[in-house]
Structure 1
Amino acid sequence: MKNNNNKLLNQETLCIHAGKAKGDHKGALTTPLYQTSTFVFDSAEQGAARFAGEEEGYIYTRLGNPTTRELELKVAALEKMEDAAATATGMAAVSGAVLSFVEAGDHVIVSHAIYGCSFALFSHQFKKFGIDVTFVDMANKEALTAALKPNTKLLFAETPINPNLVVLDLQMIGDFCQQHNILSVVDNTFLSPILQTPVDFGIDIIIHSATKFLNGHGDVVAGIIVSSKENIAVIKSTILKDIGGTISPHDAWLILRGLKTLSIRMERHCKSAQTVAEYLHQHPMVKEVFYPGLPSHQGHKYLNNQMRGAGGVIGFELNGDVNTGRKFINSMNLFSLAVSLGDAESLIQHPASMTHSPYTQEERLAAGISDGLIRVSIGLEHTDDIIADLAQAFAHIENVTGKA
């Protein structure tokens, strides 16, 4: 089953078979780990031809590696796009996707609620390079239109948004960017290509923190950029080559292993998260639950249209103050108190003081990230055990606060 048939295959099959090289790997079923920094040329002439781009072949792992290449082709197939570039971290994917196409004097529109380090990159680092950034509520088309400038070059967004799970209208964003000749970049980490393919709505570039659901085992830090062959060629030959945020072949090999089970893991994450969200929604100590699988959530209308599932991440607010939330988090037994998401283990964290600490309090509130918001990533444990751990934590804060 060759990768030239990718367009004919379903995602469950692509997770296993897409991107596999046709060459001989000594009969190995699993793709070998090419743990090498450099590649040997047959002659000086061949080396020169490869550097000149006159002959295909590998030169140096920062520029390409067979293990990494299978990962890139597999994720590109899953996202229904032409090519991909694997990176050392999710933030290398963000910076590589954006800095490859903007320069001093350009203007970028960014969703006002995004991952904390992405926010820091756009709000703090871009000033050094003379790049103008406007943060807007991208759920509001009028606000998006008002942010447009003659020098607007690129738009960056996440959906669902980290950490409050606001769902953006990808069709509206895609149409807006095409109408105004703006490059669109969307972070698809929270849903993975199993649950959402932004290219269906005209998005130009898709990024992932491959650390999360794509890998799924909590043992890799990586990212990936997916786009057209032309865009990926620009990214690889400029920012990734010269700044050097490329992935280790060992990490690429680990993600390839994780991708084999991506479709079945996402099915389990979604099913368990839906059960947990419904439990939280009815609990008297929960003020509000942020999960697109609930009919009360603003993103619920996008299910079975833009989104094929609600994902494995839930945000919620407790009735009480910040200390109540802190006591609740510290009472967890099964949940690990750790940032990240998409792992087999269930994780819990406090965005305002952890992942989104680069925001000021005023910026967080404008982005809809309250001080009391708690984010959980629902793992692959039995749902009964996950809910039992939440129940004992609720009982703990009930005993401390005396609230029912």
Structure 2
Amino acid sequence: MKIETIAIHAGNKTDADTQAVIQPIIMSTTFKREVDGSYANGYIYSRSANPNRQLLENVVAKLEGGVDAAAFSSGNAAGMAVFQALEPGTHIIGPDDMYHGLRNQIKTLFAGVLEFDFIDVNDEATLLAHIKPNTKLIWVETPSNPLLKLTDIRKVVAIAHERGIKVACDNTFASPVFQQPLALGADLVMHSTTKYFGGHSDLMGGILITPKQDDLWQKIRQVQEMGGAVPSPMDCYYLVRSLKTLPYRMRGHAANAQQLAEYLEQHPKVERVMYPGLPSHPQHDIAKAQMTGGYSGMLSFCVKGDAQTAKQVLSKLKFFTIATSLGGVESLIEHRASVEGPDTKTPFNLLRVSVGLEHIDDLIADMEQALGAI
């Protein structure tokens, strides 16, 4: 099946009792046992499994070309499940530009439990220099948040697998519509389903996908069940519903982002634009080699000036809402350095944009008047 067909059918099941075309929401936390103690339909307790969650996990696994998926209550919970599944003392390598929530989680909650380094994983010499005997995982995020840096997944996988190291990829910015890391050799894929999967800024979740049910995956499943950080049946239902339009939404986001990036790149008050679809992007060739059909709806740009200049632009915008998060149908923008805190490495004149599905002429006109006011 093509990805559009998978998105519509792999998360759906006709209800056996009512013949309802759409799977009902099963809110029950517990399920009836037989006299002998068995469970006729395999469901025991909603923390362990729920019909709506199983459909969500099925459709996402198929969208990413995996064999199984595990859904969580947030993207951070999904990432944490991976780190919790590692043996204490394990060394992990992460990218130097990485979603600050997960980076801070590793540095704070796993300090003294795991060893970690955040480096330019695309620099082969640097990567090789940081691999240790106890390195068991390389975490990549491509395109990255907020600098839109690309990681050559194939190259990192080749280095890692030669040394028995697994590679996990945060694919949130790209989505499986534009990039499928498992097909490039990655061992795990993560999404914050809060973002493009949900697509409407009204639910929270995360998910992991695997190409094989190995020992690490079994430990992740154990963390999911025993830890219980799972999405509600209602959230799973709405995620499955939103996923049906994901391929079409992503193409709209990317088309708008490409045009906005091209406009910003030529604007005299813009210092630089970070978007993988621009030929000027330093890793555009990597993007072309491992992304298909589009380059995300996310972009960042630096205004000519300082943090105050960037915030002046924010104050003038009408169709871009100043807010954290991304992936909704509405355009969002934020001064990223002030969100990330005092240890941020993000330029203070940088604005991160989640380009929505409004008409591109309106978005460009709004940006034009805002930049013209500084």
TM-score interval (norm. to shorter): over 0.9
Q: Which amino acid aligns with 1:301?
A: D
Listed as ranges, the matches of 1:80-229 within 5 Å are 80-100=65-85, 102-128=86-112, 130-227=113-210, 228-229=212-213
RMSD of Structure 2 on Structure 1 (CA) = 1.4
Which of the numbers 363, 372, 382 marks the counterpart of 2:359?
A: 382
Pick which of 279-288 and 151-160 moved more.
151-160
Cα gap change, 1:316 to 1:25, in 2 (>3 Å): farther
- Does the residue aligned with 1:374 lie in a helix, a strand or coil? strand
How far did residue 69 of structure 1 move?
0.5
Structure 2 residue ranges without an equivalent (≥5): none
Q: Do residues 18 (structure 1) and 10 (structure 2) align?
A: yes
Give the conservation status (yes or no) of the 8 Å contact 2:15–2:23. Answer: no
Residue in 1 that maps onto 2:279:
295
Residue in 2 that maps onto 1:33:
25
Residue in 1 that maps onto 2:368:
391
Q: Do residues 351 (structure 1) and 343 (structure 2) align?
A: no
Residue in 2 that maps onto 1:60:
45
**TM-score scaled to structure 2, two decimals?**
0.96
Q: Which amino acid aligns with 1:152?
A: T
How far did residue 20 of structure 1 move?
3.4
Q: Which amino acid aligns with 1:17?
A: H
Give the conservation status (yes or no) of the 8 Å contact 1:63–1:236. Answer: no
Q: Do residues 318 (structure 1) and 310 (structure 2) align?
A: no
Distance 1:184 1:303 in 2: 18
Which of the numbers 247, 253, 276 marks the counterpart of 2:260?
A: 276
Give the conservation status (yes or no) of the 8 Å contact 2:91–2:114. Answer: yes
Give the conservation status (yes or no) of the 8 Å contact 2:303–2:310. Answer: yes
- Does the residue aligned with 2:226 lie in a helix, a strand or coil? helix
- Does the residue aligned with 2:133 lie in a helix, a strand or coil? coil
How far did residue 22 of structure 1 move?
6.9
Q: Which amino acid aligns with 2:168?
A: V
- Does the residue aligned with 2:200 lie in a helix, a strand or coil? coil
Q: Which amino acid aligns with 1:13?
A: T
Residue in 2 that maps onto 1:52:
none
Give the conservation status (yes or no) of the 8 Å contact 1:226–1:232. Answer: no
How far did residue 184 of structure 1 move?
1.1
Which of the numbers 289, 299, 324 marks the counterpart of 1:305?
A: 289
Paired residue total: 371
Residue in 2 that maps onto 1:5:
none
1:71-101 Cα deviation digits (max 9, x unpaired): 101000000000000100010011112221x
Give the conservation status (yes or no) of the 8 Å contact 1:84–1:232. Answer: no
Structure 1 runs of 4+ with >4 Å offset: none
Q: Which amino acid aligns with 1:340?
A: S
How far did residue 103 of structure 1 move?
2.3
1:196-229 Cα deviation digits (max 9, x unpaired): 0001111000000000011101110100010123
Distance 1:220 1:276 in 2: 27
Q: Which amino acid aligns with 1:389?
A: D
Pick which of 160-169 and 304-313 moved more.
304-313
Distance 2:80 2:282 in 1: 30
- Does the residue aligned with 1:320 lie in a helix, a strand or coil? coil
Distance 2:64 2:233 in 1: 21
Listed as ranges, the matches of 1:258-269 within 5 Å are 258-269=242-253
1:125-147 Cα deviation digits (max 9, x unpaired): 2114x211111111201111000
- Does the residue aligned with 2:164 lie in a helix, a strand or coil? coil
1:269-309 Cα deviation digits (max 9, x unpaired): 11111100000000000000000111000231134420112
Give the conservation status (yes or no) of the 8 Å contact 1:62–1:246. Answer: yes
Distance 2:11 2:201 in 1: 23
- Does the residue aligned with 1:127 lie in a helix, a strand or coil? coil
